Homo-oligomer: A and B are copies of this chain.
Amino acid sequence: MLSNLLPILDWGRRYSRATLGADLMAALIVTIMLIPQSLAYALLAGMPPEAGLYASIVPIMLYAVFGTSNALAVGPVAVVSLMTAAAVGEVAASGTAGYAVAALTLAGLSGAMLLVLGLFRLGFVANFLSHPVIAGFITASGILIATSQLGPVLGVRTEGATLPALLSSLAAGMGSLSLLTLVIGAAATGFLYWVRKGMKPALRRAGLGPRAADVAVRAGPVLAVVVTTLLAWGFGLDRAGVAVVGHVPAALPPFTLPSFDPELIRQLLLPAALISIIGFVESVSVAQTLAAKKRERIRPDQELIGLGAANLGAAFTGGFPVTGGFARSVVNFDAGAATPAAGAFTAIGLAVAALFFTPYIYFLPKATLAATIIVAVLSLVDLGVLRRAWAYSRADFAAVAVTILATLLLGVEAGVSAGVALSVLLHLWKTSRPHVAEVGIVPGTRHFRNILRHEVQTDPAIVTLRVDESLYFANARFLEDYIMARVTGDANLRHVVLLCSAVNEVDMSALESLEAINTRLHAMGLTLHLSEVKGPVMDRLQRSSFLSALTGRVFLSQWDAVEALRAG
């Protein structure tokens, strides 16, 4: 159905005047919030400030056409901007034309990947990112971003994509520290922190209604922008060493082309893949949480298409990689956004800002933008996840800790890669030693239970092993070793029965192991039997030569097996 691929056809048909009002109100609030944020994240990504506005116009409109979430607000976000800076910084110097083209190319690649994943319904690749890896990565990214933004707040140039590099460039730049910048930056940071933590209770105590207080809190960053811009303009602070945003063209998003240079594309492939997946995971998690609050649903595979279209849009209109942002989506939702049209109206608001508002931000101090970023990302830093993971499981703790350390010390790509590799390794390790129980019969019944936990009867000529896991490559060899260890030296033994009631799958590696077990037991004069094999597993085995080589039999039930083998 076409409306599956174009959700706008579905909600667009039911669009009413009431939804229009709600969407317009939400768009107004989100637009006010997004103007400083877009500028700030553009600088974080190493781009000119207007790129942040551009990355929030066409991408949002495309998401409104293809996305399934009514509340998700798409645009530049902190973590993806950091990843963009790290990836593009590897191939070009910030401020050059090559840098901007590389950022467009990164957005284009990311968009194409997301689109392909969505069209082929391959969203499951996001499953590679376990929660410990995401939590560790977000926390470490928050620390990296906050540290990098200390530079603009102090008026010091920072460089580097790892914590040691950032800290040493901060230390090296302390000589050229600008006191005036520091005053503005520290004041803005302190004010914004208070806006976040203390302003709402204060306004409520002063008698403001909860809704008005909410709006005031959201206007806080705009207030900081306006006040510091006026100060910089009034006192000519730009001539006193305070870095300001400077000339920003007043224009709609330009038409741009990403690069098709194969070498550049090769260099950006891995970062684009990581940006795509991290962006997708974060975005879907926000969208699902917000949808649930209204008993609505989003479709993750269609979300891939929506985000893919948004990133392709960014690539062709002077932007950089975007995704669904947490804070702005929550604001959008709380402000009453009813359909993706709210996003489209936000885009129009930002387009108006890009056309008419940019001359007024010439004097906006970069320190103010850095302050908005620092205060925003500090809420991402959650070192408590280390404690919770340690309490819950050592394996998960290892994944969190390695991801945090690798991200801080080696950079964002190495951090995610190390975390993913470790998670998969730990999972294979855990399932490579499945629980195997030797079972016997409970007297007077036909039930078989673990001989270590129950009073059961066994026959010295028969050993029955129940494997509590599907058999696949990670545990196939374990089973070989286990059975060989169990039967070696047991002189009375004649039959080995594998009770397969918990085996949902036998892959080809496990089949090979079963064949090896059969051959080796045969060489020892023992026969191998199976019992209670599930239907689908049996169908598979019948397509191999295993059953004809099997020295023993396949029994429908363990009871049948014991009856037959005792008699034999």
Binding site for B on A (CB under 8 A): 124-132, 284-285, 288-289, 291-293, 295-297, 300, 388-389, 391-393, 395-396, 423-425, 427-430, 432-433, 435, 468-469, 472-478, 480-481, 484-485, 488-489, 504-505, 507-509, 511-513, 516, 519-521, 523-524, 540, 543-545
Residue of B with least CB distance to A128:
B428
Count this chain's copies in the assembly.
2
Contact check, A504 vs B393: say whether CB atoms are below 8 A apart. Answer: no
A425 to B128 CA separation, bound complex (whole angstroms): 9
Which residues on the B side are within 8 Å of A391 (C-beta)?
543-544
Residue of B with least CB distance to A399:
B508
Which residues on the B side are within 8 Å of A488 (C-beta)?
295-297
The secondary-structure label for the interface of chain A is: helix
Which residues on the B side are within 8 Å of A428 (C-beta)?
124, 127-128, 424
Contact check, A393 vs B289: say whether CB atoms are below 8 A apart. Answer: no
Question: Which one of B423, B516, B544 lies within 8 Å of A288 (CB-CB)?
Answer: B516
- A543 CB → nearest B CB, Å: 5
- A277 CB → nearest B CB, Å: 12
Which residues on the B side are within 8 Å of A291 (C-beta)?
484
A432 to B391 CA separation, bound complex (whole angstroms): 26
Contact check, A507 vs B540: say whether CB atoms are below 8 A apart. Answer: no
- A192 CB → nearest B CB, Å: 28
A126 to B430 CA separation, bound complex (whole angstroms): 14
Contact check, B508 vs A544: say whether CB atoms are below 8 A apart. Answer: no
Question: Which one of B127, B424, B508, B524 lies within 8 Å of A292 (CB-CB)?
Answer: B524
Contact check, A508 vs B392: say whether CB atoms are below 8 A apart. Answer: yes
Which residues on the B side are within 8 Å of A292 (C-beta)?
484, 519-521, 523-524
A469 to B296 CA separation, bound complex (whole angstroms): 27
- A116 CB → nearest B CB, Å: 15
- A304 CB → nearest B CB, Å: 13
Contact check, B473 vs A423: say whether CB atoms are below 8 A apart. Answer: yes
- A163 CB → nearest B CB, Å: 23
From known contacts A132-B508, A292-B523, infer whether A477 and B392 are also in contact, taking CB-CB under 8 Å: no
The 5 closest A-B pairs by CB, nearest first: A292-B520, A130-B473, A131-B509, A396-B508, A131-B512
Contact check, A288 vs B396: say whether CB atoms are below 8 A apart. Answer: no
- A402 CB → nearest B CB, Å: 14
- A382 CB → nearest B CB, Å: 12
Contact check, B508 vs A127: say whether CB atoms are below 8 A apart. Answer: no
A472 to B519 CA separation, bound complex (whole angstroms): 35
Which residues on the B side are within 8 Å of A425 (C-beta)?
125
Contact check, B429 vs A124: say whether CB atoms are below 8 A apart. Answer: yes
Interface pairs (6), CB distance under 8 Å: A124-B432, A126-B477, A288-B484, A292-B523, A391-B544, A430-B505
- A28 CB → nearest B CB, Å: 26
Contact check, B424 vs A295: say whether CB atoms are below 8 A apart. Answer: no
Residue of B with least CB distance to A123:
B477
Contact check, B427 vs A469: say whether CB atoms are below 8 A apart. Answer: no
- A473 CB → nearest B CB, Å: 3
- A145 CB → nearest B CB, Å: 23
Known: A292-B520, A392-B540. 16 other contacts (CB 8 A): A127-B476, A127-B477, A128-B428, A128-B473, A129-B473, A130-B507, A131-B511, A132-B509, A284-B477, A288-B516, A292-B524, A295-B489, A297-B488, A300-B477, A423-B473, A424-B424
Which residues on the B side are within 8 Å of A389 (C-beta)?
508
- A144 CB → nearest B CB, Å: 23
Contact check, B288 vs A480: say whether CB atoms are below 8 A apart. Answer: yes
Question: Which one of B284, B423, B474, B507 lies within 8 Å of A127 (CB-CB)?
Answer: B474
From known contacts A292-B524, A488-B296, A523-B293, infer whether A509 and B473 are also in contact, taking CB-CB under 8 Å: no
Which residues on the B side are within 8 Å of A129 (C-beta)?
473
Residue of B with least CB distance to A300:
B481
Which residues on the B side are within 8 Å of A297 (C-beta)?
484-485, 488
A396 to B506 CA separation, bound complex (whole angstroms): 11
Contact check, B289 vs A516: say whether CB atoms are below 8 A apart. Answer: yes
Which residues on the B side are within 8 Å of A393 (C-beta)?
507-508, 540
Which residues on the B side are within 8 Å of A293 (C-beta)?
520, 523
A392 to B509 CA separation, bound complex (whole angstroms): 11
Which residues on the B side are within 8 Å of A484 (C-beta)?
288, 291-292, 297
Which residues on the B side are within 8 Å of A512 (C-beta)?
131
Contact check, B504 vs A127: say whether CB atoms are below 8 A apart. Answer: no
Which residues on the B side are within 8 Å of A508 (C-beta)?
130-132, 389, 392-393, 396
Which residues on the B side are within 8 Å of A127 (C-beta)?
428, 432, 473-478
From known contacts A127-B475, A396-B508, A484-B297, infer whether A289 and B520 are also in contact, taking CB-CB under 8 Å: yes
A291 to B484 CA separation, bound complex (whole angstroms): 10
A468 to B536 CA separation, bound complex (whole angstroms): 14
Which residues on the B side are within 8 Å of A474 (C-beta)?
124, 127-128, 427
Which residues on the B side are within 8 Å of A509 (C-beta)?
130-132, 396
From known contacts A469-B504, A540-B393, A543-B392, infer whether A524 and B295 are also in contact, taking CB-CB under 8 Å: yes
